[in-house]
Each structure stands twice: as structure tokens, then as C-alpha cells.
A and B are shown apart, each in its own frame.
Chain A
Amino acid sequence: MQSPDKQRDKDRILLAHGGGGQLTDELIRELVIPNVNKSMTAELTDSARIDVPEGSICFTTDSYVVKPLFFNGGDIGKLAVCGTVNDLAVAGARPIAISLSLIIEEGFEVRLLKKILSSVGKAAEENNVEVVTGDTKTVEKNAADGVFINTAGIGVCLPEVELAFGKIQPGDEIIINGGIGDHGLALISQREGISFQSQLESDCAGLAGLTCRLLEAVPEIRFMRDPTRGGVAGTLNDIVFETGHSIEINQNALPVNPVAQAAADLLGFDILNVANEGKFIAVVPPDWTGKILQICREHPLGKKSVVIGAVKAASEMPLVEMKTSLGGKRIVRMPYGLELPRIC
């Protein structure tokens, strides 16, 4: 029978777990590696050696500070892997390896950490990437929100594919692979202080399987991006800003889950500004739209793929405009960066 102190050691993360000594070793060996990469040997190095084929590699980094840590449809672990995979996917690469850095708050429950790590492992497996290296640090109580994760990801650039703002032309069509707003609204519905339960689930998912299939079939695709923070409005405004062209989208064409719309109405959010974690926007030459939609719709993550608008030559000033369901027109602006719930 263990003493209460020993028991407490086992239940919660201590500062010493990040000290680089015995406890760190134990943590990595017994908790991290078995959950995130079962095939990894016990060799503990800070760097991993990876063989890459000829050509270019794609490299990305991200940090995850999501709150709450666990939400309908996923957790910070799944988000970290899928988010990194998606950054590589929309850059036209096939992801191969990820690093995983954890910053853990002193006192964080071990069983929750295990859950997160298990999600990392599962997501990595599902997305055919390996967690090849990582780091673990701990900070004092209240210096982090439970767990922060930082990742870096490497992918192999697909041959003949070049996705760039510079390739976008007036006449190109804009496609999205499914309904918008689910992630951001699912998350906010579970935040402390908002007593709001929703059946909404985050759409958190790795898109590389679909994007690679698409790009291999249609390397002519001009550009891709995942509309995470800032939502669809953010991504479309980025395109307009970088290219100097305008965009017109059609409100009637926007795929929106009615539960998400009701949640957005309740909170006073514009659903175009809400984050998505399992969606990509593709800008494509109009001749290829049919084929692209066909490929997308055959994939589980693209069943509701649809054309939402097109790129146009800018007249006075490059803008994102939306044709409303009334037949009216309005401008879609770059979001401020933080949607505040309104009552008025």
C-alpha cells in the first residue's frame, strides 16, 4: 500500500517532472512514448533523424493553447496533430513527421495527460504521421492552463504542385469541403461561465488524406488554406489582400449546420468569423471544379463539398463581397480577432 504522498506523486504532475532527471525519464518512458508512438525505441534523443526523398520539404510550426482542453469531438492532443497535419496538407505536402513539446502546469492530473497523449497517438496513426521527437517542461501552478502544446511538422512537397497566392486568377472558383462554424461554436459552448450545452461537435480532423488525393489528381489547383482562426472571412480576406483581386461568395451556397447557426445567433457571432479545424478552402481553375468536387465528395471528409464563390477582378478596391439570400450584397470584412458574445 503506497503512502498518500507517493500516491499523490502518481496522480499529478510535479515540477520535477520537467527537471530533466529521473521523473522526466519516467514520464517520457512510461507515459509519453507508449501513448504517442508505440513503435519508437527507448532511445531518448532530443533530435530525430528522418530520411526524406528527393525534392522539397515543407516545414511548419504551431502552438496549441485551446480552452477547454477537452471538448465535443476532440481534445488538445487531437487538435495539435490535426492542426499540424493540415498546415502541411494545405501547403501541398504529404506530412511525415511531427515533434511534440509539452508545457505542463504543476498539479495537472496524470490521467488527463494520459488521455491527451493517447489522443495524440491515435490522431498520428490515423493521419499516417509519426511523432518522432519532443520535449517536456513543467511550470508552476497557474503559469499555464493545464497543458500547452507546441508542434513542428515536416512534409514532403507533392511533385508538380505549387500552391501560391500568385497563381490565383479572376474566374477561379472557391470550394470548401463542408459545413462551417462547428469547431469554434462547439468550444465556446463548453467554456466555463457559459452554461450552454450543445450537440455540436468540433470538426477537428486531419485533411492530408483528402488533399493529397486531390492534388495528385489535379495538380492545377491554385491555392489552399484551412480557415482556422478568423474563419472563412479571415481566409478570404487574406486572399484578397495578397492578390489584389476581389472575391464574391454566395450566402445560399455556404454549407452551415443549422445547430451551429442557431448557436451563432444565440451568441451574436457571425459564423463566417468562427474557427474551423477540419475544413479547407481551395481556389481552383473553373475547368477542374467538377472533377475536384467529385473526388472530395467520395471522401468522408468532403461529402458536403461545394462551390461557395469565385475570384473576380477588383473594380475600385479589392473586397470580399457576399450575395445575401435576399439577393442583396454586403461586404465581408476581416474579423477583429476576438468575437465577443453580444446581447444587443
Chain B
Amino acid sequence: MCLAIPARIVELKDDKAVVDAMGNRWKAKTTLLPEAKVNDLVLVHAGFAISLVDEEEARKTWQLIEEINFFSETSNKLSG
């Protein structure tokens, strides 16, 4: 159950984080994942990081993660 998507922590102070998924940024809390650090890939659900994400497995699991490297290399203007 439940929509959760992988996102990278780009800012972290105490348990207040800003996470980034493909350039979309929003606030999330790491209260349930105290071991999380900046730059970690985490799974975010309902405003909370609930798991660290194994980067290698992530590429095999989420279509969008496969595209991440391609995206960051070519990212310029974004509207299609």
C-alpha cells in the first residue's frame, strides 16, 4: 500500500529535510530514519522518509531512476 517515491536528501537539519526527485523539491522529515544523511537516496511517504534506498537496486526497480543520470547530464530548460 501507499504511494512512496525515492528521492535524494539535499538539505538536512536535525530531522527536517528537503528532498529532491528529478528537480521536484519538498520538505520531508527523517524522524523515522535517524541514520539518514545528506545525499542519501530515501523512500518518502506522507512527508516522512521511511527507508534508505539501495542505489544499485533502485536502478533495477524504478524506471525514473534509470533515467536520472541521463537527465542530470542533459538538463536545461525543462518545459516540453
Direct A/B contact, Cβ within 8 angstroms? yes
CB atoms of A343 and B2 under 8 A apart: yes
**Known contacts A266-B21, A343-B45; is-contact A304 B5 (Cβ 8 Å):** no
The number of chain B residues touching the other chain, given as a range, is 10 to 19
> Does residue B59 face the partner (Cβ distance < 8 Å to A)?
no
Check A196–B79 contact: CB distance below 8 A: no
- Do A195 and B64 form a contact, CB below 8 Å, given A257-B78, A268-B3? no
Quick check: B21 and A200 within 8 Å, CB to CB? no
Determine if B24 and A263 form an interchain contact, defined as CB atoms under 8 angstroms apart.
yes
Give CA–CA (A40, B46) in the complex, Å.
53
How near does chain A come to B76, taking the closest CB pair, in angstroms? 11
Q: Does B34 contact A (CB under 8 A)?
A: no
CB distance from B63 to the nearest CB of A (A): 8
Assess whether B25 is in contact with A198, with CB atoms less than 8 Å apart. Answer: yes
Contact A200-B26, Cβ < 8 Å, known A258-B64, A343-B45 = no
A202 CA to B25 CA, complexed, in Å: 17
Partner of A262, one of B1, B2, B24, B46: B24
Contact residues of A between 190 and 230, Cβ < 8 Å to B? 194-203
Residues of B within 8 A of A261 (CB): 22, 64
> Does A34 lie at the interface of the complex (its beta carbon under 8 Å from any beta carbon of B)?
no
Chain B residues near A65 (CB-CB < 8 A): none
Q: Are B3 and A342 in contact (CB under 8 A)?
A: yes
- The 26 listed contacts between A and B (C-beta, < 8 Å) are A178-B80, A179-B79, A182-B78, A182-B79, A182-B80, A194-B26, A195-B26, A195-B27, A196-B25, A198-B23, A199-B24, A200-B23, A201-B79, A202-B79, A258-B22, A259-B22, A259-B24, A259-B78, A260-B80, A261-B64, A265-B64, A266-B21, A266-B24, A304-B80, A343-B2, A344-B1
